[in-house]
Amino acid sequence: MKKFVAIVGSNSKSSTNRKLLQYMQNHFKKEAQIELIEIKDLPIFKKSKEKTVPERAKEMAKKVEKADGVIIGTPEYDHSVPAVLLSALAWLSYGQHPFVDKPVMITGASYGSLGSSRAQAQLRQVLDSPEIKARIMPSSEFLLAHSLQAFDDNGNLNDKEAAKQLDGLFQDFLKFVEISGKLNNATAANKQKAADFNWEDNK
């Protein structure tokens, strides 16, 4: 059975993105073990001469490193990825590079009708940056709109069509992870390249 970590891209106590990941954790429990990771305890990213990384960020990086794949649930604030999620990803690419060639599936829930579409597009760009270089599943947007009304009292999705789409995307992700596991010939070199990259020296 595959082991995934799911990053809750919000520090809100009542995040519907957390609810969506919890739904996936329960709904797909016979197909994969999914561990939710919270980012609310991380401090805002800040560079230091010593490249000091919080212990919490190191723990998260180890979990990402060991996982077969990562699921990220992102809200959308002002047409973009929340600052708290960007800060977490910055810590996870600062002196450590667990995302290199790691299969990633992106999901997103929002109160409005767009379902975090712009944030997901931006998140793909961030995950493709030289220090992160994740392997993002293509053509796989899952956009949960009107998320405050999206779940029943048991935490299940009310929209059967949305649930069906998510089922299909998760099956695709399982296959994507399997295929990605065979595309590892350049992973060591890619990790070294990520570790050596420095925007200040890049001309």
Residue with tokens 């047409």: 79
Q: Give the rounded percent of residues in the chain with a pLDDT score beyond 90.
A: 79
Residue 108: Cβ within 10 Å count: 28
Q: Which fold does the domain 2-201 belong to in CATH?
A: Rossmann fold (3.40.50)
How do residues 51-107 score in pLDDT, each as one tens digit? 899 999 999 999 999 999 999 999 988 889 999 999 999 999 999 999 999 999 999
Spell out the domain ranges in the chain.
2-201
Tokens of 94: 């600062």
Contact call for residues 87 and 45 (beta carbons, < 8 A): yes
Lowest-confidence segment of 13-22, 34-43, 123-132, 191-200 by average pLDDT: 191-200
Tokens of 1: 């059975």
Q: What is the pTM of this model?
A: 0.94
Tokens of 158: 């009310």
Q: Kindly write down the DSSP assignment for every residue of 130-175, as one continuous string.
A: TTT--EEPSS--EEE-SGGGSB-TTS-BS-HHHHHHHHHHHHHHHH
Does 113 score more than 80 pLDDT? no
Nearest Cα residue to 109 out of 181, 12, 177: 12
How do residues 140-179 score in pLDDT, each as one tens digit? 889 998 998 989 999 999 999 999 999 999 999 999 999 9
Nearest Cα residue to 169 out of 88, 76, 71: 71
Nearest Cα residue to 172 out of 65, 26, 36, 71: 71
Spatial distance between the Cα atoms of 172 and 99, rounded to a whole number of angstroms: 20
Residue type, 41: D
Nearest Cα residue to 89 out of 108, 70, 107, 76: 70
**DSSP H helical segments within the chain, as ranges?**
16-27, 55-66, 83-91, 117-127, 160-180, 187-196
Residue with tokens 């999206």: 150
